[in-house]
Chains A and B, each alone.
Chain A
Amino acid sequence: MNPSNKKILGFIIPNLIILSIIGNNKMLNPSSGGVLVFSEFVILPMLMGIMSAWFWKDYKLTNKTLIWNSILNGFIAILLSYFFLGEGTICLIIVSPLIFAFVVTGAFIGKVMFKRRDQKMNISFVSLLLFIFIADSVSDHHYENMVSDEIVIKATPDKIWKNVVAFEKIKQPNQYWLFKLGMPSPMQTTVTANKLGAGRKCIFSNGYTFDEKIVAFEVNKNLTFDIVNQPQDPEIMGHIDIDKGQFILKDNGDGTTTLIGNSWYKLHVFPIWYYDIWAESITRNVHLRVMDHIKLLSEK
């Protein structure tokens, strides 16, 4: 085989194999409900790096070339996920450090594996990775979390309450880098009535709307709402379910009020140690954008 062809195959074949594994996994395991398990972001990129290293084993690739080739491989995988798996741009930005780190790690594991030429050891190691992938894919995955934030507003609860229930459009520019990159940010909230059971809508910058139902309505104290319908945005679809939101107002007795914002969500992407950092950060910035706006309106 022409040597340059083998080098190119090191990009094409591993990507095609990994894409087909993910596709087949989705088809054969429909009960997963679109959950993306940790193996898809950890084991498969590592296997991709190992496979590429096999195609490149006869070339004396420098460390630098091996790293750049692996980054290119990761980039191709991300592009394929965009086109064939329908993932959103922000999601892919979030996932990219994981992909790059594990593809590079796999390529270096592969480099030493194929230098040793210990077939038994190599087959055992790859089989172990595949076993972890299968075991992880068929296991149950469930994760819930709550994020809480608070700010102090220089106003009494009765002045703040109406702005908590519904508020006009937020005009302040976004500060959070993911919102600046195009992730939808909260813009406005409307309510059908000021009472328990009323409908509420949280409208985002791209026009998407979260439909909510008020389940606790204690004037000047507590507004809790269930999310009854969330937008089918590729950035969140299947990855996170926002279950419930809450605003608590605590009168500090000195003309100020502590406003607490709570959100409950379920994550469907794993590993949690990675994705929950992002989920918490995004939820926190949604909270703060809304709460800062409420503060601005209430302190007028």
Chain B
Amino acid sequence: MIFRFVVNYLGFLKSIPFFGLIYDSLIKIWLCISNPQMLSWFDEIEEEVLNWDGTSISLHRFGGTQFNYQRKELGHLHSNGILDIRFSVQIKKALIADGIAREHHMFAKSGWVSLYIKNQTDVENALSLLSLAYSRRQKLQIISIDK
């Protein structure tokens, strides 16, 4: 709820350097006290994605961990447990129809989807979605090299 309020009404603050990162750190500190299990799930996702060839992590400019393939974003995980991944609009529709992901918490009209991580099953779904984004990115890269 607080995250939604900040995103909807205090969005202008994201133009302040480091604001997103600091806000995310505060959420992390809070999670450490209130729900440390969530941080373990984040570790699990991070560790698995970093095992895939060509992946790396960086800090997302609005806070959270960004997963990259060949330095291009696959998706990002905010510390409140929202994983955002960008697909094509067709794939997005299919994922939402299957109940795997939801509309993006901000950009409903785009190809972005969101997944709220609340339990171990969500961690597995998150990894499936990231794996799908990873495969797509790999294919796109192969096509661009062939051309």
Q: What residues make up the interface of A, taking CB atoms closer than 8 Å to B?
A: 46, 62-64, 67-68, 71, 100-102, 104-105, 108-109, 112, 115-116
Q: How far is the CB of A108 from chain B (nearest CB, A)?
A: 6
Q: How far is the CB of A196 from chain B (nearest CB, A)?
A: 48
Cβ contact within 8 Å between B22 and A101: yes
Cβ contact within 8 Å between A63 and B25: no
Query: In the complex the two chains form, what is the Cα distance from A131 to B69 in whole Å?
Result: 33
Collect the chain B residues with CB atoms within 8 Å of residue A112's CB: 57-59
Collect the chain A residues with CB atoms within 8 Å of residue B57's CB: 112, 115
B-side interface mostly: helix
Q: Given A109-B59, A115-B56 in contact, is the A64-B21 Cβ separation under 8 Å?
A: no
**24 contacting pairs across A/B (C-beta < 8 A):** A62-B40, A63-B42, A63-B43, A64-B32, A64-B36, A64-B39, A64-B40, A64-B43, A67-B28, A67-B29, A68-B32, A71-B29, A71-B32, A100-B29, A101-B29, A102-B25, A104-B28, A105-B18, A105-B21, A105-B24, A112-B58, A112-B59, A115-B57, A116-B56
Q: Does B106 contact A (CB under 8 A)?
A: no
Q: Does B26 contact A (CB under 8 A)?
A: yes
What is the 8 Å Cβ interface bit string for chain B, positions 5-49, against chain A (1 contact, 0 not)? 000000000000010011011101100100010011011001000
Collect the chain A residues with CB atoms within 8 Å of residue B43's CB: 62-64
Collect the chain A residues with CB atoms within 8 Å of residue B59's CB: 108-109, 112
Q: How far is the CB of B72 from chain A (nearest CB, A)?
A: 15
Q: Rank and list the top 8 A-B pairs by shortest CB-CB distance, nearest first.
A: A63-B39, A104-B25, A105-B25, A64-B39, A67-B32, A62-B43, A105-B21, A105-B22
Query: In the complex the two chains form, what is the Cα distance from A101 to B28 in whole Å?
Result: 9
Q: What residues make up the interface of B, taking CB atoms closer than 8 Å to A?
A: 18, 21-22, 24-26, 28-29, 32, 36, 39-40, 42-43, 46, 56-59
Cβ contact within 8 Å between A67 and B21: no
Query: In the complex the two chains form, what is the Cα distance from A63 to B36 in whole Å?
Result: 9
Cβ contact within 8 Å between A101 and B26: yes
Collect the chain A residues with CB atoms within 8 Å of residue B26's CB: 101
Q: Which residue of B lies closest to A102 (CB)?
A: B22
Supplied contacts A64-B32, A105-B24, 7 more A-B pairs, CB within 8 Å: A62-B39, A67-B28, A67-B32, A100-B29, A104-B25, A112-B58, A112-B59
Cβ contact within 8 Å between B22 and A63: no
Q: Which residue of B lies closest to A61 (CB)?
A: B43
Query: In the complex the two chains form, what is the Cα distance from A67 to B22 in whole Å?
Result: 13
Q: How far is the CB of B31 from chain A (nearest CB, A)?
A: 8
Collect the chain A residues with CB atoms within 8 Å of residue B39's CB: 62-64, 67
Collect the chain B residues with CB atoms within 8 Å of residue A67's CB: 28-29, 32, 39
Query: In the complex the two chains form, what is the Cα distance from A46 to B40 in whole Å?
Result: 24
Q: How far is the CB of B27 from chain A (nearest CB, A)?
A: 10
Q: Which of A63, A102, A109 has the most CB of B within 10 A?
A: A63
Query: In the complex the two chains form, what is the Cα distance from A63 to B37 in whole Å?
Result: 11
Cβ contact within 8 Å between A104 and B40: no
Q: Which of A46, A64, A115 has the most CB of B within 10 A?
A: A64
Cβ contact within 8 Å between B32 and A108: no
Query: In the complex the two chains form, what is the Cα distance from A294 to B81 in whole Å?
Result: 51
Q: How far is the CB of A154 from chain B (nearest CB, A)?
A: 40
Q: How far is the CB of A10 from chain B (nearest CB, A)?
A: 18
Q: How far is the CB of A64 from chain B (nearest CB, A)?
A: 5
Q: How far is the CB of B7 from chain A (nearest CB, A)?
A: 19
Collect the chain B residues with CB atoms within 8 Å of residue A63's CB: 28, 39-40, 42-43, 46
Q: Which of A71, A102, A108, A109 has the most CB of B within 10 A?
A: A108
Q: How far is the CB of A159 from chain B (nearest CB, A)?
A: 46
Within 8 Å by CB of A108, from B21, B36, B40, lies: B21
Collect the chain A residues with CB atoms within 8 Å of residue B32's CB: 64, 67-68, 71
Q: Which residue of B lies closest to A62 (CB)?
A: B43
Q: Which residue of A lies closest to B21 (CB)?
A: A105
